[in-house]
Chains A and B, each alone.
Chain A
């Protein structure tokens, strides 16, 4: 069937708004990148100083920025592992619950955080984790720690790790649940029929076949945690600086836009490399 040119032009016109939005985003990103190649500059003024890689050299040698990058990597890894360990059983539970009503309840429980402001949730968590908060009082009441003692759970990496797990968990659970739903359960029956008990079936059949879903959920968790801004700000305060916080500080307080731009570029490259690596792993898995 041949189409008249007018129709083709007409249907391509429909792409125009999307292309326009894309162009604006791309231009903003390129502008940001161009800032990172200048030595000095601040918001509201044109970039100045010599053109080159001097800012990158500074960012990648200054212990302050390097520690922000290392902290981000460390906390993202902890949040990824933590959210997968918690998310796997929850996703299993949701998908395998026979009662539709129970399943709907579980889904809503996981989805509620999506509908609540992150800032509100973080301050609630701050109250619970505080030196006089719910958790420390519970520990005192059960006698695990002394009456006037407390476990420091705020303004440190522990609190930020807990907060990051809390932040990415719903994403992880929904990604995993989607992948579990597509899993053919007769494969588990086949394993049982061939003499494998529940544990062997889980380790040799279910989890290996879930690998792409687990990988996707893990990648999502890692990228989300790595770009977190509010969580380290509220729960870590000045004690924990992640990349997003360092960028914010440089851009708005230090008025050093080239450093902020260079940090952004480094974070962006890192995210792209992570996604590329996850894609490669998924492809290998698909071939096997």
Chain B
């Protein structure tokens, strides 16, 4: 059910350079009305530069940035209708919370009554009504973050930009704010472009994720799409845990392909009946099971024999690491699984369904 939605932000072939080095090359993507889009990538991938270019703080060397169908390449930051939540919040230390929030509306030359209304509304959104008279240094980190969000929202910007919004919060608060922020933005129908290096955060909050590496966009898709069908080994290993296996296409029929793998056996991959030469196989650890001693091999599953080299108790699951002729595979099994009796160095049998195997680009 994809309704035609208004395009809020549109980038076409955007290059960003710093001196001679290219930070971003050929970035092309759209953000639609009401969407939460995340730029996800490791440090140095150019994601923050892209965000700052949209805000107008970084000049673009080539390409075009359009906000609501208006070309903004040469529009100064203070004339762009975007609200940026800074990574360090950048609250004005010499102003109270209310003064911080009214800064934007006052610059827009709103009346006193309208400004007060906007400030009140934004404070309610982030549940900080009682803190209007406080100074930023009198607030906790989490409260400062909410003031920063409210300050951007008080301008009612066309597009909200979030620069690593959760990076300065502790783990517990981070998980809470993820849910709260996503719910707030959905409730008020805000359109947001966020930047993060945290894949969990990107998967949890976004409608769509744009994966960046070395200044280029690798994949754009819903969290489910980029997790289940990553286009290459970088996306596969950056988002979630992954077993990436070097393989060679051996033979195939209409339904599945057979690939020879380094430990000398073959692996069936459903839906990859046609192929040739070298390939990479992706199997997520949660798709890999550990056979209980005494199990008979199920003919439909892929089987592999190896040696248990590591086991880590993670609370909700146990991470099992097995060595198969020099290749290490990881499996996640339930904590009460029968394999818990195995000791390091024991023989172990791994099994996974052909449907769980994806062939990806290098």
Contacts and interface: CB of A to CB of B under 8 A. Distances in A.
Interface centre among B80, B83, B107 (most CB of A within 10 A): B107
Interface string A164-207: 00000000000000000000101101111111110010001100
B103 interface: yes
Contacts of B275: none
Given A186-B86, A208-B94, A194 B57 contact: no
B288 interface: no
B84 interface: yes
A192 B93 contact: no
Contacts of B90: 184, 186-187, 189-190
A190 B155 contact: no
Interface string B62-84: 00000000000000111110111
A196 B94 contact: no
A193 B94 contact: no
Contacts of A186: 86, 88, 90
Interface string B41-56: 0000000000000011
Contact of A189 (B86, B93, B155): B86
Contact of B55 (A193, A195, A200): A193
Interface size on B, as a range, is: 20 to 34
B104 interface: yes
Given A186-B88, A189-B57, A190-B84, A195 B108 contact: yes
B268 interface: no
B92 A205 contact: yes
Contact of B93 (A191, A200, A204, A209): A209
A288 interface: yes
Nearest to A288: B94
Contacts of A197: 76, 78
Contacts, number: 61
A192 B152 CA distance: 12
B151 interface: yes
Given A186-B86, A200-B107, A193 B77 contact: yes
A100 to B, nearest CB: 14
A189 B57 CA distance: 8
Nearest to A200: B107
Nearest to A197: B78
B150 to A, nearest CB: 12
Please list the 10 inter-chain residue pairs (A to B) with the smallest Cβ-Cβ separation, ordered nearest first: A195-B107, A190-B90, A194-B104, A192-B77, A186-B90, A193-B84, A192-B78, A194-B103, A195-B78, A197-B78
Given A200-B107, A209-B94, A194 B88 contact: no
Given A205-B92, A208-B94, A194 B151 contact: yes
Interface of B: 55-57, 76-80, 82-84, 86, 88, 90-94, 103-104, 107-108, 135, 151-152, 155
27 contacts: A184-B90, A186-B86, A186-B90, A187-B92, A189-B55, A189-B90, A190-B90, A190-B91, A191-B78, A191-B103, A192-B56, A192-B57, A192-B76, A193-B55, A193-B84, A193-B152, A194-B104, A194-B151, A194-B155, A195-B79, A195-B104, A195-B107, A196-B78, A196-B103, A196-B107, A197-B76, A204-B103
Nearest to B109: A195
Interface string A36-62: 000000000000000000000000000
Contacts of B77: 189, 192-193
B87 to A, nearest CB: 8
A191 B151 CA distance: 11
B148 to A, nearest CB: 9
Contacts of B84: 189-190, 193
A83 to B, nearest CB: 25
Given A187-B92, A196-B103, 20 more contacts: A189-B86, A189-B90, A190-B84, A190-B92, A191-B92, A192-B56, A192-B57, A192-B76, A192-B78, A193-B80, A193-B82, A193-B84, A194-B83, A194-B107, A195-B104, A196-B78, A197-B76, A197-B78, A204-B103, A288-B135
Contacts of A208: 94
B55 to A, nearest CB: 6
A223 B226 CA distance: 66
Contacts of A184: 88, 90
Contacts of B86: 186, 189-190
Contacts of A200: 107
Contacts of A192: 56-57, 76-78
Contacts of A196: 78, 103, 107
A200 B104 CA distance: 12
